[in-house]
């Protein structure tokens, strides 16, 4: 009788732990989605500004072409290729800004300012997202989580590789 009670208690405890872990995991997945949505919005905004810069007088025809191409690529890339496409855009923008700052007019100055404010936000968003992904991946690697398939059908979050120094 005593053994049975103990067994029942342990079983309950185990079930509670599983449900606890599942809640935790669900929350983490939610966090990854949120941080990604954040980053995505900011990156889309950046692509839009890049296009605007490409169409302004700041860009000569060649860099305009380069920038437009990079911006469209960044917009269309799927999540796995996204970081590479975005790095390409960062590179193109970096090239232009380093030469362009000297002879920018008022309007273009404000565009560039907007861009640099956005870049600061993107940097923060990236670190938030990276952290969310790594903690999710850490929990998903747990033995219990894998054996009981607590993650369900949720895809394993992709780490977003981003060279922050290009920004």
Partner 1 sequence: MLTTKLRIGIVCPYGWDTPGGVQNHVRDLAEFLIASGHTVSVLAPAIDEEKLPDYVVSAGKPISIPYNGAVARVLFGPIAYARVRQWIGAGNFDLLHLHEPAIPSISLLACWAAEGPMVGTFHAAAKRQKVIFAIGPILEPAIEKLSVRIAVSEAARLTLTDHLETDAVVVPNGIYAKRYSDGSAQEKWSGNTIGFIGRFEEPRKGLQVLVDALPIIARFAPDVKVFVAGPGDPKDFEKEIDPQLRDRFEFLGKISEQEKADFMSSVSLYVAPNTGGESFGIILAEALAGGACVVASDIPAFDSLLGSGKYGALFESENSTDLAKVVIDLLRDEEKRKKLAIEGKKRAQLFDWEVVAQQIFSIYEMAMVGGKGVTLGSDHRSWNRFLSRDEEKR
- To the nearest 10 degrees (0 to 180), the angle between helices 79-100 and 61-76 is 160
Q: What CA–CA distance (Å, rounded) separates 53 from 58?
A: 7
Binding to partner 1, residues 39-68 (CB under 8 A):
41
Stretch that binds partner 1, among 4-12, 58-66, 107-115, 124-132 (CB under 8 A): 124-132
Stretch that binds partner 1, among 17-25, 82-90, 103-111, 157-165 (CB under 8 A): 17-25
Angle at 53 between CA 59 and CA 34, to 5 degrees: 145
Q: What CA–CA distance (Å, rounded) separates 139 from 2?
A: 35
Buried (b) or exposed (e) across 130-167, using 16+ Cβ within 10 A? Answer: bebbeebeebbeeeebeeeebbeeeeebeebebeeeeb
- Least Å distance between CB 55 and partner 1? 27
Judged by CB under 8 A, the residue of 18, 24, 45, 56 near partner 1 is 24
**Closer CB to partner 1, residue 35 or residue 64?**
35
- Least Å distance between CB 9 and partner 1? 19
| Residue 111 near residue 56, CB atoms below 8 Å | yes
160 binds partner 1 (CB under 8 A): no
13 binds partner 1 (CB under 8 A): no
| Residue 68 near residue 54, CB atoms below 8 Å | yes
Stretch that binds partner 1, among 80-88, 131-139, 141-149, 156-164 (CB under 8 A): 131-139
Stretch that binds partner 1, among 19-27, 53-61, 62-70, 80-88 (CB under 8 A): 19-27
| Residue 44 near residue 75, CB atoms below 8 Å | yes
Judged by CB under 8 A, the residue of 127, 141, 144, 163 near partner 1 is 127
Contact footprint for partner 1 (CB under 8 A): 19-20, 24, 27-28, 31, 33-35, 37-38, 41, 121, 124-125, 127-128, 130-131, 134-135, 138-139
């Amino acid at each position: 009788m005593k053994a049975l009670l103990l067994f029942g208690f342990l079983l309950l405890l185990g079930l509670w732990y599983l449900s606890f872990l599942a809640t935790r995991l669900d929350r983490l997945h939610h966090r990854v989605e949120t941080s990604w949505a954040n980053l995505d919005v900011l990156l889309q905004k950046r692509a839009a500004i890049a296009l605007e810069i490409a169409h302004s007088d700041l860009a000569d025809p060649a860099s305009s072409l380069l920038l437009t191409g990079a911006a469209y690529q960044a917009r269309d890339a799927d999540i796995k290729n996204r970081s590479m496409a975005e790095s390409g855009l960062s590179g193109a923008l970096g090239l232009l800004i380093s030469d362009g700052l000297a002879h920018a007019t008022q309007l273009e100055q404000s565009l560039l300012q907007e861009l640099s404010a956005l870049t600061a936000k993107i940097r923060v968003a990236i670190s938030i997202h990276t952290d969310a992904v790594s903690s999710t991946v850490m929990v998903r690697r747990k033995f219990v989580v894998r054996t009981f398939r607590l993650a369900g059908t949720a895809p394993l979050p992709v780490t977003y590789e981003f060279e922050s120094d290009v920004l």
